[in-house]
Structure 1
Amino acid sequence: MTMATIAFPRALRITALSAAALALAACSFGPSGTPPAMPQPAHYGAEAQPTQTVAAQGVTQQFVVGAKPVPEWWKLYQSDALDALVDEGLRNSPTLAATDKSLAAAREQLRAQIGSSMLPTIDAGGQATRNRALAIPEGGPNTFLYNVFVGQLQAHYTFDLFGAARLADAALAARVNVQAYQLDAARRALAANIVSAAITSSALRAQIDTTERLVALADDQARDAQRRYTLGAVSHADQLSAQQSAASLSASLPGLKQQWLTTRHALAVLLGRTPDAAPDDLDLAQLHVPEQVPVVVPSELLRTRPDIQAADAALKAAAADVGVATAQMFPSLSLSASMGQGGFSWPAALSGAGAIWSIGASLSQPLFHGGALVAQRRAALDTYDATVSQYRQTVLAAFQNVADTLAALQHDTQALGAANVAARSAQGIFEETSGRYRLGAVPVSATRSSEQQFRNARLDEIRYTSARLTDTAALFQAMGNPPVEPAPSVATAAPAGPAANAGAPTTH
């Protein structure tokens, strides 16, 4: 055994250990990408949230603190028509389809980058040329005509000594995760928008029907005042006042119808339809408000909200960018090799004498780039710090969103409870007055006045019924999705850097 055969394995071990040390050194090139610690409030709002809402229309909603979010929460409204609308929107929305395809394209770009950065490239090439070259005049003919035939395989590989390629792959993988979480958020937002639009459209239709009845009553009142004024039973001011009230009420009806049609058109587009194919309104009375609403604790909300998860992935991408900018300041080693056949004729090119090959290595170390590499690293660090602040703001905004939604649901339910009592009382007065009118005890104007009071109270009840239904939808939306561990993806092919987020999140 010669000294050469002993030294070669030892050199391999030394090289392997050196590469491992360099790879570990790459892990310290940038921030860890761990999200900053956020405060964990005891409750979301300025006031402690109650365990339940007040009773309204016979229903008391329970706030189940610590429960998991509900993925398909709209089914708790117990309306097959509403479920069908949401399913249609999730299936046919062009915006959602475009976002989905953009995510698929980003994942393919990630696969392409990993393949090109982590594996060697091998290319096959062939060349056949005919050339004319000048010769020495004293040596014979003035020109030479000859052919060249070459066919070869070329290979190239750049060693990722300091983790620049792996960190770049990790940064792109994290940005793919950002898009995946944004798709998840878009799906949930679309479902919430469809539910809210359907409820609002139904409520507006009910308000229009009630307002049209109020307009008819006001017109009857104005005509009655006109007749009484003609008979001298009332003053001219009373007649004008009744006319003015009827006209003012009629003026409110076109705006209400415009809101209704605008909402229906928006709902149709959300479903992927043209506005002329807007769906029929749901029956507001057939929508059942969910009696139990999950309230995720603040620490768990960081894992259930897609917007927070997207901010987390963006933070990991920014941390990996710092590592990339740092690694670019260190040496780069590349190997290249080629082998093939060549000659001045096909027989010579295909013979053993036509074998050609080459092998080489190149090592480069940045020395002077006018401060560009240092500036790029500082820029990456500043971007990372900005992303940390954006993450904090996203979390705080999520807490505010939940707090506002909880408060809105509580207060609108309180208003609905009062409006429901007022409507039932006004209805009782109207029914009693109608009974007395049929007995001849009161004039028709008294019946008309009591019905107007009942219809106005009913308008308030419709508004607050719609508000509670949409507030409940907003609260379900604010809770996010049940946390799901990321599924393995192609990004795991790249050795994880300090900020790699290799898995793509599972969307619902």
Structure 2
Amino acid sequence: MRKPPMIALLLMTGACSMNPKLAVPPAPVAPTYPDAEAAEAASAATIDWREMFDDPRLQRIIALALENNRDLRIAALNVEAARAQFRVARGAQWPQVDATGSYTRQRVPTAAATAGIGGLPGGGGGPSGYEFEQYTASAALTSFEIDLFGRLRSQSQAAFERYLASDEGRRAARIALIGSVVDAYLEERLAQEQLALTERTLADWTASLDITQRRHAARQASGLDLAQAEGQVRQAEADHAMRTRALAQARNALQLLAGAPLPGDLPAPMSLMEQPIRTQLPAGLPSDLLRNRPDIRQAEHALVAANADVGAARAAFFPRLSLTAMFGFTSLALDGLFDGDNRSWSFSPQVTQPIFRGGSLRGELRLAEVRKSIAVADYERAIQAAFREVADGLAGRATFVRQSDAQRKATQASARRVALSTLRYRAGLDSRLELLDAQRNDYAARQALLDLRRQELSSAAGLYRALGGGDGA
């Protein structure tokens, strides 16, 4: 008897696909950005993050975060998990062959051994029974599904697309981490410089209070002047405590993002006004986002995976052809195990056609279709969110320069007012209340200028992140 042509059956695995045709929806956004030039250069996403953030201290901290941040490490591990899941799904498409070897030694009572079977060949007969050995070696193919309708192929494709989506998620996490480190660094710089400004102001106002106290003791200043000067100092002391707390919290946030204590040999910090972060970035076109934003590519891979899930759910309605086969040798003596006469084989194909499942197959198909619709909406939402983030960044690019220039001039004017109010107060032309108001306005204007500079730099970093910058190594 000839062996069944198993190899020919295995070649039947060239399955058709039940995946529906996938039409990726067009980008639901305008063809150009608001506040963008008609013909801008290529997107700033091509700029390396080291060129974008040219502060050596900031570069060291970003590199430290990329190496040690736990969120990024989890994202990388999720990629490995998705890759392993894809290998599991792909492995189901191939035959699973197991090799087995066994040895059996058995004793049979004489009455059982001689009852109608005429004794046991090769056995060691005795007055009370027979003992014999049996050796077996085999290779088995167990329940291999021949994927005629592409169910396993669709599941493998879905797993592969989810692996790609997880890798894009890791890239998106990298971009987000760089942006978060920049924001935290700018917050730390702002807190440090605002604290320094508060300390200088507090020292000046404390000296002014000391002069007022002496003048009051000499009956040259009223009690109202003394109360106003003291209130000004106490407010500055409260601000100092607040700025100290803000600096500590900003440093804690920066260290958390870095994933490790900040080294003591970091380069000296640069002031906010001297930060070399680029603030005028080209945006390109919205179509560039589909290529540059990993979160959009992640949503697209998730959409393809959901479409493959629909194909697998469709294929579940059709028959499944599975194959179980075994080829091996069985012998009562080890030295003759692989003799030709001792070979054995079995071949068992099986066809299963679902007839009644209580609606579960239709439910699974409907679930897959709904999840595909959700994936479409997620993809469109990712594009719209990216478009909005870029538009916000361009709005900042268009207005921060004018706002910063106006605030700088306002700070210069407040400084002139303080100088003039001081002269008029000493000449007895203005009350101390006018001088205090001028000093408070100047203090607030300087704090506002620092905060505005931080916002301008953060907006530029946000636009760079929104365009997909920072994806490179």
Aligned to 1:246: 233
CA distance in 1, matches of 2:111, 2:466: 86
CA distance in 2, matches of 1:295, 1:104: 33
2:302 counterpart of 1:314: yes
- Spell out the pairing of 1:98-247 with structure 2 (5 A cutoff): 98-114=74-90, 116-133=91-108, 136=111, 139=115, 144-156=130-142, 157-247=144-234
Question: Which has the larger displacement, 65-74 or 173-182?
Answer: 65-74
Contact 2:280–2:397 (CA under 8 A) maintained in structure 1 = no
Residue by residue over 1:235-275, the C-alpha shift from the partner in whole angstroms, topping out at 9 and shown as x without a partner, is 43332232222212211221211111111122122222137
SS in 1 for 2:349: strand
SS in 1 for 2:321: strand
What amino acid sits opposite 2:148 in the alignment?
L
Contact 1:402–1:479 (CA under 8 A) maintained in structure 2 = yes
SS in 2 for 1:32: coil
RMSD over aligned CA atoms reads 3.5
What amino acid sits opposite 1:49 in the alignment?
D
Residue number among 329, 334, 343 corresponding to 1:341 in the alignment: 329
Aligned to 2:28: 39
2:365 counterpart of 1:377: yes
Contact 1:74–1:473 (CA under 8 A) maintained in structure 2 = no
Contact 2:147–2:320 (CA under 8 A) maintained in structure 1 = yes
- Spell out the pairing of 1:255-294 with structure 2 (5 A cutoff): 255-274=242-261, 281-290=269-278, 292-294=280-282
Aligned to 2:463: 475
SS in 1 for 2:282: strand
CA distance in 1, matches of 2:282, 2:157: 35
Aligned to 1:59: none
Residue by residue over 1:349-382, the C-alpha shift from the partner in whole angstroms, topping out at 9 and shown as x without a partner, is 3433211122231211111222211111111111
Could you tell me how far 1:416 is from its partner in structure 2? 1.4
**Residue 287 to residue 380, structure 1, CA distance change in 2 (3 Å):** same
Q: Unpaired runs of 5+ in structure 2?
A: 120-126
CA distance in 2, matches of 1:73, 1:274: 22
2:447 counterpart of 1:459: yes
Aligned to 1:485: none
Question: Which has the larger displacement, 254-263 or 285-294?
Answer: 285-294
Residue by residue over 1:422-472, the C-alpha shift from the partner in whole angstroms, topping out at 9 and shown as x without a partner, is 2233445667889x79x99999x8999876654443222111111111110
SS in 2 for 1:292: coil
CA distance in 2, matches of 1:159, 1:358: 18
Aligned to 1:295: 283
SS in 2 for 1:270: helix
Contact 2:317–2:354 (CA under 8 A) maintained in structure 1 = yes
**Residue 289 to residue 51, structure 1, CA distance change in 2 (3 Å):** farther
Question: Which has the larger displacement, 344-353 or 188-197?
Answer: 344-353
TM-score, normalisation: structure 2: 0.84
Residue by residue over 1:31-64, the C-alpha shift from the partner in whole angstroms, topping out at 9 and shown as x without a partner, is 33433223331544xxx41549xxxxxxxxxx94
Could you tell me how far 1:288 is from its partner in structure 2? 2.0
Aligned to 1:67: 43
Could you tell me how far 1:99 is from its partner in structure 2? 2.0
What amino acid sits opposite 1:419 in the alignment?
Q
Question: Which has the larger displacement, 68-77 or 94-103?
Answer: 68-77
What amino acid sits opposite 2:217 in the alignment?
T
Residue number among 319, 326, 345 corresponding to 2:314 in the alignment: 326
CA distance in 2, matches of 1:50, 1:124: 67
Contact 1:265–1:276 (CA under 8 A) maintained in structure 2 = no
Identity %: 25
Residue by residue over 1:129-179, the C-alpha shift from the partner in whole angstroms, topping out at 9 and shown as x without a partner, is 123446656848775433221011123542110001111011001111111
Aligned to 2:345: 357
SS in 2 for 1:147: strand
Alignment size in residue pairs: 452
Residue by residue over 1:395-437, the C-alpha shift from the partner in whole angstroms, topping out at 9 and shown as x without a partner, is 2222222222332444443321111112233445667889x79
CA distance in 1, matches of 2:458, 2:151: 49
Aligned to 1:83: 59
Could you tell me how far 1:206 is from its partner in structure 2? 0.9
2:292 counterpart of 1:304: yes
Residue by residue over 1:307-334, the C-alpha shift from the partner in whole angstroms, topping out at 9 and shown as x without a partner, is 1111111111111111111111111112
Could you tell me how far 1:197 is from its partner in structure 2? 1.6
CA distance in 2, matches of 1:449, 1:367: 87
**Residue 275 to residue 265, structure 1, CA distance change in 2 (3 Å):** farther
What amino acid sits opposite 1:214 in the alignment?
T
**Residue 241 to residue 450, structure 1, CA distance change in 2 (3 Å):** closer
TM-score, normalisation: structure 1: 0.78
CA distance in 1, matches of 2:185, 2:429: 42
**Residue 406 to residue 417, structure 1, CA distance change in 2 (3 Å):** same
**Residue 51 to residue 463, structure 1, CA distance change in 2 (3 Å):** farther
Residue by residue over 1:267-288, the C-alpha shift from the partner in whole angstroms, topping out at 9 and shown as x without a partner, is 1222221379696644334312
Aligned to 1:492: none
CA distance in 1, matches of 2:50, 2:410: 30
Contact 1:339–1:357 (CA under 8 A) maintained in structure 2 = yes
What amino acid sits opposite 2:58 in the alignment?
L
CA distance in 2, matches of 1:31, 1:229: 89
Contact 2:36–2:283 (CA under 8 A) maintained in structure 1 = no
Question: Which has the larger displacement, 284-293 or 246-255?
Answer: 284-293
